[in-house]
Amino acid sequence: MNKINQLFAERPRDKKFLSLYFCAGCPTLDGTADVIKTLERRGIDFIEVGIPFSDPLADGPVIQSAATQALKNGMSLRLLFKQLRAIRHEVHIPLILMGYLNPILHYGLEAFFKSCAECGVSGAIIPDLPFDDYMQTVKPLADQYGLRVIMLITPETSADRIRLIDASTDGFIYMVSSAAITGAQKSFDEQKQEYFRRIDAMQLRNPRMIGFGISNRQTLQAANANAAGAIIGSKFVTLLNEAEGDADAALDRLFEDLRK
């Protein structure tokens, strides 16, 4: 069974998951493996590893800066797969690669999913992947190699499209908290809370994880109250940079901030 499916299938009723995102190759080129192993050791449920790209349209300044630094450091998709392959037997939680379509197409679509399977990666998030292209071209290849392609929904996504995504994907649905770019927020306003409740009432087949803007106890609790858990990106990337790549120190700070 795919590790993502297994994670959610075995989830206790009251369990809320926490996923963290960081950009491969930032702040150091060779730190990716250590960050992953540290996050697993510290109890993170699954990890999103960012593929750096020069034009990350959905990302705010924190992740844009991380991608720029990673590219300057020399990170590439080919090198990332080499680093992941070296630790595939040491890491047991699901790994999901998150990146834009351009570098994946440059690497080769089938080659990408084949390399994911060989390196122990369980899924991919491709924010700029058109749904029609997913259905016609990407999904068959992902299915062939046992990978899950996670689709995003936003407050602007229609109910019909959400149900189509729910019926056509597997693993979980990435529920973007707002239509804005990534970045930490102090709270989720009533409009976002209503969006969470509206999607919850749809009783979708797939579990949902809420991301974008989660950085403190209030936003974390709002995500956990309306989904299977939360995804934290910009906040952790900032703390990891401040800690100069020391994932233990970054996690200590993150957990402290999530209690505030």
Query: Which amino acid, residue 54?
Result: S
Region at 212 (left for phi over 0; alpha for psi -120 to 50; beta for the rest)? left
Angstrom distance (rounded) from CA 156 to CA 154: 5
Residue among 40, 45, 59, 166 flagged as catalytic: 59
> In 108-181, where does DSSP find H-type helix?
109-118, 131-133, 139-144, 159-168
Would residue 10 show up in a list of annotated catalytic residues for this protein? no
Query: Which amino acid, residue 257?
Result: D
Return the residue matching tokens 């299977």.
228
For residue 176, give the H/E element and its range: strand 173-176
Residue among 10, 30, 45, 48 flagged as catalytic: 48
Would residue 59 show up in a list of annotated catalytic residues for this protein? yes
Angstrom distance (rounded) from CA 80 to CA 161: 33
Report how far apart the first and last C-alpha atoms of the chain are (Å, whole number): 38
Which backbone phi and psi does 236 adopt, to 5 degrees? -70, -40
Angstrom distance (rounded) from CA 91 to CA 96: 12
The torsion defined by the Cα of 254, 73, 65 and 256, in degrees rounded to 10, comes to 10
Catalytic positions = 48, 59
